[in-house]
Amino acid sequence: MRAIHPFHGGVHLAEHKTESTGTAIGWMSLLPRYVVPLSQHIGQPAIPVVKPGDRVLRGQMIGRPTGTISTAVHAPTSGIVSAVEMHPVAHPSGLTGLCVVIESDGADRAVEMSGIDWRNLDPAEVQAHVRDLGLAGLGGAVFPSAIKLQRGNAARIPTLILNGSECEPWITCDDMLMRERADATLRGAAMMRHLLGADTVLVGIEDNKPQAIAAMTEAARQAPFPVEIVAVPTLYPSGGAKQLTRLLTGLDNPTGKLSTEIGVQVFNVGTAYSMYRALELGEPMISRVVTVTGHVPRPGNFEARIGTPLRDLLAAAGGDLPGTTGHIIGGPMMGFDLDDARAPVVKAVNCIIAKRVEQFPPAAPAMPCIRCGQCAQACPAELQPFELYWYAKAKDFEKTRRYNLFDCIECGCCSYVCPSHIPLVDYYRFAKSEIRAHELDAQASQAARERHDFRTFRLEREKREKAEKLAQKATTRLDSGAVAEDDPAAAKKKAILQAAIERAAKAKVATTPQNTDNLSPTVQREIDAIEARRQAAPDDAAATGRQPTEAP
């Protein structure tokens, strides 16, 4: 029995797990349309490699990874790309993101897929393969998996941890995956173990999932390499990578460093399963298990293709019951409110909860902080949340940074226990995004300063060179004795410029419209309005001066 090294703080939560574990993982019927966002992972969004009208097959790459931290995106079914456009996505902002819309042809034909010989190939090649198959961590952070398979400067990473803790209430996708696909999950772990050179493989599972523990233990018994299935006490957030590492190994991941520096790499169990599908079968990451629970008639888990609109996923569980007040993407502790149910399932979506007021009452009004310290007792990062709140509220970002704001994992324990019902994490998120924005601004202004300095230098150099040239010319002219009365070249230049201005003015008034056949009435109205503005513009501009126009 492995010793458990408890972490500081944490909270006991009402689990709400049994609601969605009653039935096996369900399969969804093919939908007529899928919407696949190009930015589903941390890092650079994928670059679309298809255009409207293109025919795609299931598993075909539609977004190419770019930059160091990136991964590919694939078509979830066969069909025709109808658009590459901005579409609502699952994001706390409720903003839109660039998506590839695929109208399925119903045939669901796949590209040719085949596994690779990962045992004998060069690790770099395997990693490139993982990147091209679009693998990203399914635990929530969606970090591109290929990068996590690199050993860095270390000769090997001795400890591989599979994270099956799933500590958030309501979510059961990892639980069900482990119950039903334990064997394949451990096969994925074998590949990770091989690539990292790990000798210890630990699977941490919260002890409120006895069936998953049993299934995984059975699979571990048959695995060709040693695997330890460790039941960890049910205490949120035991599924945080750093917390789980502490629980299983007693090691603290140093701040700002990768866990590989302490010889540990952590993957979600779902990622291990996808790794098996990718390397053994050659299947890219085009589906994942998602929990649909809460106020729906048939809560459960579904194998959903990436790109499935969330309202179709909800419909698979019977749709929202009357009295649904909204949806949470992810768990109630770290998830976010869904703005638009047209947003699709992405690699990060592990759960959707239909809310009703009895289970998710509106937040109680916040009272002043009385510094009771319950947040500090609950904080798994061992921070002093009330101090962070104090400074974030005052927008004293320098102080929040010194009180280690960036060690906050936004687990929500502090807000959960706060007797004053202060939305503490909202303050931290605010402070973090302000600090990040400020850093970007500082970088931009540094770059602008450099460019400005260089320009000043260039102008001065040009002036100097010109003066030297003139001086030289003057000497030669004096020598020849001929001094021009007027500069005909300058006059000619002026005339050309004037002519161009006139041409442009004419062009502005009488630009020949294009693509004006078969217009809808709305578009035609818009065009008319624009024309009217264009006609009026020259006088307006003269009268009111230039006004910056705002983008819609």
Partner 1 sequence: MLTAILVLAGIGLALGALLGWASDYFKVEEDPIVDKIDAILPQTQCGQCGFPGCRPYAEAIAKGEADINRCPPGGEANIKQLAELLGVEAKPLGEGLEPKPKAVAVIDENTCIGCTLCIQACPVDAIVGASKQLHTIVADLCTGCELCLAPCPVDCIAMTVIPARLDNWKWQYPVIHLRQVA
Partner 2 sequence: MNGSPYTQSANNSVRITMIKVLVALIPGIAAHAWFFGPGIWVSLIVCSLIAIFYESLALVMRGYPQKPFLSDGSVIVTAWLFALSVPTLAPIWLYAVGLLFAVLVAKHLYGGLGQNPFNPAMVGYAVLIVSFPTYMTQWPAPLQLATHMPSLANAVDMVFAGSGSISIDAYTLATPLDTLKTLGRAGQSGTEIFNQPIFGLIAGKGGEWVAAAYLLGGLLLLGNRVFTWHVPIAYLASVALTATLVQAIDPSQHANAWFHLFSGGVMLGAFFIATDPVSGSTTPLGKLIFAGVAGFITVMIRDYGGYPDGVAFSILLMNIAAPFIDTYTQPRVFGHAKGGKVGK
- Chain-centroid distance of CA 449 in Å reads 32
Please give the DSSP secondary-structure letter assigned to residue 357: T
Is 336 a residue that touches partner 2 (CB under 8 A)?
yes
By C-beta, is 261 or 426 nearer to partner 1? 426
Is 324 a residue that touches partner 2 (CB under 8 A)?
no
Query: Which does residue 415 touch among partner 2, partner 1, none (CB within 5 to 8 A, set by kind)?
Result: partner 2
Query: Which does residue 156 touch among partner 1, partner 2, none (CB within 5 to 8 A, set by kind)?
Result: none
By C-beta, is 71 or 253 nearer to partner 2? 253
By C-beta, is 119 or 455 nearer to partner 1? 455
Binders of partner 1 among 83-102, rule CB under 8 A? 89, 91-93, 95, 97
CB of 121 to partner 2, least distance (A): 35
What's the distance, Cα to Cα, between the start and end of the chain in Å? 62
CB of 410 to partner 1, least distance (A): 11
Is 501 a residue that touches partner 1 (CB under 8 A)?
yes
Q: In 3-state terms, what secondary structure has residue 375?
A: helix
Stretch that binds partner 1, among 205-213, 219-227, 319-327, 443-451 (CB under 8 A): 443-451
Is 536 a residue that touches partner 1 (CB under 8 A)?
no
Stretch that binds partner 1, among 196-204, 209-217, 309-317, 448-456 (CB under 8 A): 448-456
For the beta sheet containing 47-48, the strands, ordered from the edge strand earlier in sequence to the opposite edge, are 47-48, 61-64, 73-74
Distance CA 195, CA 151 (A): 8
By C-beta, is 89 or 285 nearer to partner 1? 89
* Binds partner 1 (CB under 8 A): choice among 51, 119, 451, 525: 451
Angle subtended by helix axes 424-480 and 385-393, to nearest 10: 50
* Binds partner 2 (CB under 8 A): choice among 99, 167, 369, 392: 369
Binding characters for partner 1, 96-135, by CB under 8 A (x = yes): -x--------------------------------------
Q: Residues touching partner 1: how many (CB under 8 A)?
A: 49
Distance CA 343, CA 337 (A): 12
Query: Which does residue 337 touch among partner 1, partner 2, none (CB within 5 to 8 A, set by kind)?
Result: partner 2
Is 325 a residue that touches partner 2 (CB under 8 A)?
no
By C-beta, is 484 or 489 nearer to partner 1? 489
The per-residue DSSP string of 463-500 comes to HHHHHHHHHHHHHHHHHHT---SS-HHHHHHHHHHHHH
* Binds partner 2 (CB under 8 A): choice among 151, 263, 404, 434: 404
Q: Which two tokens stand for residue 218?
A: 């059975």
Is 548 a residue that touches partner 1 (CB under 8 A)?
yes
Q: Residue count of the chain, please give it.
A: 552
SS (H, E, C) 220-254: HHHCCCCCEEEEECCCECCCCHHHHHHHHHCCCCC
- For 67, how many CA atoms within 13 A lie in the half-sphere containing its CB? 11
- Helix runs in 282-423, H state only: 310-316, 374-378, 385-393, 397-402, 413-417
- For 304, how many CA atoms within 13 A lie in the half-sphere containing its CB? 32
By C-beta, is 211 or 511 nearer to partner 1? 511
CB of 101 to partner 1, least distance (A): 18
SS (H, E, C) 8-75: CCCECCCCCCHHHCCCCCEECCCCCEEEEECCCCCCCCCEECCCCCCEECECCEEEECCCCCCCCEEC
Residue from 128, 241, 224 nearest 183 by CA:
224
Question: Which amino acid, residue 324?
Answer: T
Provide the binding-site residues for partner 2, judged by CB under 8 A: 7-8, 11, 13-14, 92, 169, 242, 252-255, 328, 330-337, 355, 360, 363-365, 367-374, 376-377, 380-384, 386-387, 399, 402-404, 407, 410, 412, 415-421, 423, 425-426, 429
